[in-house]
Structure 1
């Protein structure tokens, strides 16, 4: 199987090779989630699959980089993203505001990337504990895949670095409301020296994506993928591509986060003009950062597809300012973004 070089061939492969596999593996996890004994854990596990399927669909596009090993890599991506979405639900709608609880839960994401890591009681700091082995099974499915990848040892340090950013963000942003911003600012200040010029809330967005991990894990199927190659991919994806991903996610969620009183990184810009300028900047830098990667065209389509997927979301239509900025961003994205935008728009409506 070849890696697509044109938007149309990419869309065909997504519909033919990626989505059926995603839904096959997701259905397996949904069945297991249905059997979780604790009602609260069961509710959050099922809700995370029902409402965030598109996270697995989008992330699994990286399976195309694995060519003949696509099935194996999509199995990993679906399991890892399901852990991420499940824990996000548990922390967002939590009975707890304890950072120790969030850290214990998110240790599962580090163990899922570490072949042979010994599993723990990830629920040890919370009342709801009995998930019937659900989280352990997700972690083991990830370990099962990565233990067979020929170059995994070479990408492992980069995967863990990206996962630590992700886990730290989840811990800091789910604590008591008054503690969130001070914790996030302090965390940002400890990393600021290694970053291009950006604000604390932009760094938080860069940390909140799993795309770099999926990309690296797909490349680990190639025996000659070196540590140097891994660092190159990590530095291409973090901060700009991952930042673009999560900034778009928060961008379309502004209305519901305002109503729910949730933290949204777009709220910290001075005005709509600054928000648009920074989103454009992330889009431009994301394109620049992937220029020297192997399969550059594939990564370019990912950037354009990211913009399209989020800007085609129904949430955009109900928010006047968001809708206006979206039109500008589609123009910035160019013809590939428009192509993926139309596709995404049609796909979402056909799914209903």
Structure 2
């Protein structure tokens, strides 16, 4: 299977080769979630699949980089993203505010990336315990796919580094409200010397994406993918592409998070002008950072597609200020963003 180099070819392959595989995998996990004995765990597992399907759909586009191994790659991406979305729901709607609980739950995401890691009881610091083996099976599925990849050993260090950022973020942002910002600021201070100039809330956003992991796993299906190439991919995706991804996610959730009293990184900018300037900065840096990547045009379209997919969301239309800023971002993205924007807008409405 060739890797698409034009927006139209990319969209055709997404509809034909990616989405049917995603929904086939998600249907399997939905049935498993339906069988979870504990009512609260079952509710959160089902809700994470029903409300966050588009995370798996978007992430699985990286399956197109895997050429012959698209099935395995999408199986991994759907399972790993399902862990991420499920744990996010468990922590967001939590019956606990215990950082040990959040850390232990998220150990599953590190184990999922470590082919021979023994599984454990990830619920041991919370009331709800019996998921009928759901989370462990998700972890095992990821491990089995990774074990079968010819270049798995060459991406191990990079995917664990990205996952550690992700897991740290999830612990710090879900504790008691008054502890969140101080914890995130302290965490940022331990990493800031290795980062380009940015704020603690932007570093948090860069850490909250799984795209770099998916990209590396897709490339590891190739026999000759080296550690040097893996490092180059990681540096291309972290911080800028991942930061753009998560800042856009928070950008469209502002009203929802304001009403729910949830942490939103967009609230920490000085004003709307500052926010839009930094989003533009991330969009430009994301394009620059992928210039030395293999299949550069594919990654370029991913960046443009990220802008489009988030800005086409219905949440944008319901927030006047966000809507005005979104128009400006679409203009910056240019023709490719507009193409993906129209596609995303149509797809979401037809799905209804």
Query: TM-score by structure 1 length?
Result: 1.00
Give 1:236-247 correspondences, 5 Å limit.
236-247=236-247
Structure 1 residue 89, shift from structure 2 partner = 0.1
SS in 1 for 2:242: helix
Between the aligned partners of 1:161 and 1:22, the Cα distance in structure 2 is 26
Paired with 2:275 and 2:310, the residues of 1 have a C-alpha distance of 16
> What's the offset of the Cα at 1:262?
0.3
List 4+ stretches of structure 1 deviating above 3 A. none
Distance 1:152 1:287 in 2: 27
Cα distance in structure 1, aligned partners of 2:29 and 2:283: 34
Aligned to 1:66: 66
Q: CA deviation at 1:208?
A: 0.0
2:187 maps to: 187
Cα distance in 1 between the residues matched to 2:62 and 2:24: 17
C-alpha displacement of 1:197: 0.3
1:253, distance to aligned residue in structure 2 (A):
0.1
CA distance in 1, matches of 2:209, 2:338: 23
Shift of 1:139: 0.2
- The CA distance in 2 between the partners of 1:68 and 1:337, in whole Å, is 28
Q: Give the secondary-structure state (helix, strand or coil) at the position aligned to 2:155.
A: helix
Structure 1 position 251, deviation (Å): 0.1
Residues 259-280 of structure 1: CA distance to partner in whole angstroms, max 9, x if unpaired? 0000000000010000000000
Q: Distance in 2 between matches of 1:275 and 1:104?
A: 34
Distance 1:34 1:225 in 2: 39
Residue 57 of structure 1 pairs with residue 20 of structure 2: no
Question: What is the DSSP-based 3-state SS (H/G/I as helix, E as strand, rest coil) of the residue aligned with 2:153?
Answer: helix
- How many angstroms does 1:181 deviate by? 0.1
Aligned to 2:88: 88
**Structure-1 separation of matches of 2:156 and 2:301:** 25
Deviation at 1:13, TM superposition (A): 0.1
Query: For the residues of structure 1 that align with 2:317 and 2:161, how far apart are their CA atoms?
Result: 37
Q: Aligned residue pairs: how many? A: 352
Q: Report the counterpart of residue 45 of structure 2 in structure 1.
A: 45
Cα shift at 1:60 = 0.1
Q: CA separation in 2, counterparts of 1:156 and 1:295?
A: 22
Q: Does 1:231 align with 2:231?
A: yes
Per the alignment, residue 158 of structure 1 pairs with 158
- CA RMSD of superposed structures (Å): 0.3
Does 2:275 align with 1:299? Answer: no
Correspondence list, 1:250-329, <5 A: 250-329=250-329
Give the SS at the match of 1:132. coil
Q: Deviations over 1:264-303 (max 9, x none)?
A: 0000001000000000000000000000000000000000
1:232 CA displacement: 0.1
The residue number in structure 2 matching 1:21 is 21
Counterpart-to-counterpart distance in 1, 2:318 and 2:345: 15
CA distance in 2, matches of 1:338, 1:68: 30
Q: Displacement of 1:229 after TM fit? A: 0.1
Q: CA deviation at 1:183?
A: 0.1
Counterpart CA distance in 2 for 1:150 and 1:167 is: 26
Q: 2:178 corresponds to which residue?
A: 178
1:161-194 Cα distance to aligned partner (Å, 9 max, x none): 0000000000000000000000000000000000
- Structure 2 residue ranges without an equivalent (≥5): none
Structure 2 CA distance for aligned equivalents of residues 245 and 315 of structure 1: 16
Partner of 1:333: 333
Distance 1:3 1:310 in 2: 24
